C-alpha cells in the first residue's frame, strides 16, 4: 500500500510506520499442541511494532491464546529500529592523501 505525498510521489505505508517510530520486531514463539504435549514447536513471526510496549505483538498473542489450541511455552523477541539517526564519531588523527 502506498500513500500520496501531494506532489505525485508515493510513500509506502511501511516507510511511514518506521518514521512514526515503529521498528522490525521478530518473535520466536515456542509452543506445544494438546495432542503432542512432549513436542515443542517453533513459530517465527515478524511485523512492525513499537518497543518497549509491543502493542501489535500483544494483540497477536491475545489472539493466539483465544483462538488457537496450542499452548504457549516461551517467546523470544528481537527488535530493531530501521530508521535511526546516523552515528557520527570524531576521529583523532590525520589522513594524508597524495
In this structure, are residues 16 and 4 in contact, taking their beta carbons and an 8 Å threshold?
A: no
Domains of the chain: which residue ranges?
13-91
pLDDT at 80 over 80: yes
**Residues 12-67: tens digit of each pLDDT:** 888 899 888 899 999 999 999 999 989 999 999 999 999 999 999 999 999 999 99
What is the CA angle 20-25-30, rounded to 5? 155
Report which DSSP code applies to 56: H
In this structure, are residues 32 and 39 in contact, taking their beta carbons and an 8 Å threshold?
A: yes
Amino acid at each position: 500500500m502506498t500513500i500520496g505525498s501531494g506532489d505525485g510521489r508515493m510513500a509506502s505505508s511501511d516507510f511511514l510506520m518506521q518514521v512514526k517510530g515503529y521498528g522490525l520486531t521478530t518473535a520466536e514463539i515456542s509452543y506445544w499442541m494438546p495432542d503432542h504435549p512432549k513436542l515443542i514447536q517453533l513459530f517465527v513471526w515478524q511485523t512492525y511494532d513499537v518497543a518497549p510496549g509491543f502493542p501489535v505483538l500483544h494483540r497477536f498473542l491475545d489472539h493466539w491464546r483465544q483462538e488457537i489450541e496450542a499452548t504457549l511455552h516461551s517467546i523470544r523477541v528481537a527488535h530493531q529500529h530501521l530508521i535511526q539517526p546516523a552515528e557520527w564519531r570524531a576521529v583523532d588523527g590525520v589522513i594524508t592523501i597524495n
